[in-house]
Chains A and B, each alone.
Chain A
Amino acid sequence: MDGKGLSHRVGIEKVIYYLSRFIIGLIFLYASWHKIVHPHEFAKVIYNYKIFHSKEVVNGIAIFLPWLEFYTGVFLIIGVFERGSSLSAFILFLAFIFAILYTIYMGIDTNCGCFNFSESSKVGLPLLLRDILFLLLTSYVVFYSFRKKR
């Protein structure tokens, strides 16, 4: 590949990286809002996944998790702590996928609570596929931000 071709490829990779970072950032920012405003509802949703049984743990997660999503989203969008925020997004998506798989395996009927608390957003295969897609996008961001700053 000549110098021009290489710089063209690097340019495309850069655009994909910024676009992916921005999309994931927006997803987290949007997802965090209703959870921050309605912590009681969010605690009920977490409880319904039946992964945690202690109410203190469930309440603690309901207080902390929306803010982790919020800061992850903000930092990904503005490009501060790129590595940390991309790692955070990666871990969050992994955790979500685990929760969905657990729910499907146990046959638990619950709402996702991802972007709203409506009855229509049930946990199931479409949700799993969506989160896997998000995880793949995040993997690219983690990989690129690691390579970029090395």
Chain B
Amino acid sequence: MKRFFWEFLFIVFISIFTGMIFNTFYLEGINLKKFNPAPNIKKEAKGLNIPVLNLTGAKEKFDRGAIFIDARSNEEFKKGRIKFSFNIPSGNEEKFWEEFSQFCPPGSNEEIVVYCDGKDCHASLNVAKFLKDKGYKKVYIFTGGWNEWMEKGYPIEWE
């Protein structure tokens, strides 16, 4: 049994050692302290030609009656969401979109604001891209998402 453990520790040790050495000399190595693995939504959205909104911009759209789409999972959506939001979870877009499309068909001129948790989540981008591909013209991403909206005390609802 002891042998199992020591052999395993040895493999872990040489893996750490090789990883560090390789990463130091590899041209595409990671800067351990500087590299940020969180998705850069703003940059990716710009590449897809989707405008990005901050909290103020999102609240303005909300007050003007824009449609809000929650790109988080259905469970999270039920626990709490921006008031009057629809749910189109990332990864399950097609199924949830069918219901939404009856309310707001593709090609519509309605302003649509997509959000997820906050700055680090990728779901809003996936859903915004999906809606653009479906033919919706005015799609925005609210990067602050549910977290910022809730912290500010803006209108929410839940089931």
Contacts and interface: CB of A to CB of B under 8 A. Distances in A.
A135 interface: no
Interface in B33-66: 33, 35-39
B147 interface: no
A47 B11 contact: no
Contacts of B91: 109, 122
Contacts of B80: none
A88 interface: yes
B19 to A, nearest CB: 4
A17 interface: no
B75 interface: yes
Contact of B28 (A38, A59, A72, A85): A38
Interface stretch (A4-12, A62-70, A93-101): A62-70
Contacts of A68: 11-12, 15
B109 interface: no
A71 B28 contact: no
A3 interface: no
Given A59-B30, A63-B23, A84 B37 contact: no
Contacts of A70: 15, 18
Contact of B11 (A44, A46, A71, A110): A71
Contacts of B4: 83-84, 87, 146
A38 B35 CA distance: 13
Given A39-B23, A67-B19, A106 B73 contact: yes
Nearest to A60: B32
Given A39-B30, A64-B16, A109-B89, A55 B7 contact: no
A14 interface: no
Contacts of A84: 3-4, 6-11
A109 B123 contact: yes
A55 B3 contact: no
20 contacts: A36-B22, A47-B38, A47-B120, A48-B122, A59-B30, A59-B33, A59-B35, A59-B37, A62-B37, A65-B15, A67-B16, A81-B7, A84-B4, A84-B10, A87-B4, A87-B8, A91-B8, A107-B89, A146-B1, A149-B3
Interface of B: 1, 3-12, 14-16, 18-20, 22-23, 26, 28-33, 35-39, 72-76, 89-92, 120, 122-123, 126
Given A43-B35, A68-B11, A110-B122, 16 more contacts: A38-B28, A40-B37, A55-B35, A56-B32, A59-B35, A60-B32, A62-B30, A63-B22, A67-B18, A67-B22, A71-B11, A72-B11, A84-B7, A84-B11, A109-B91, A146-B4
Interface of A: 36-40, 43-44, 46-48, 55-56, 58-60, 62-68, 70-72, 75, 81, 83-85, 87-88, 91, 106-110, 122, 146, 149
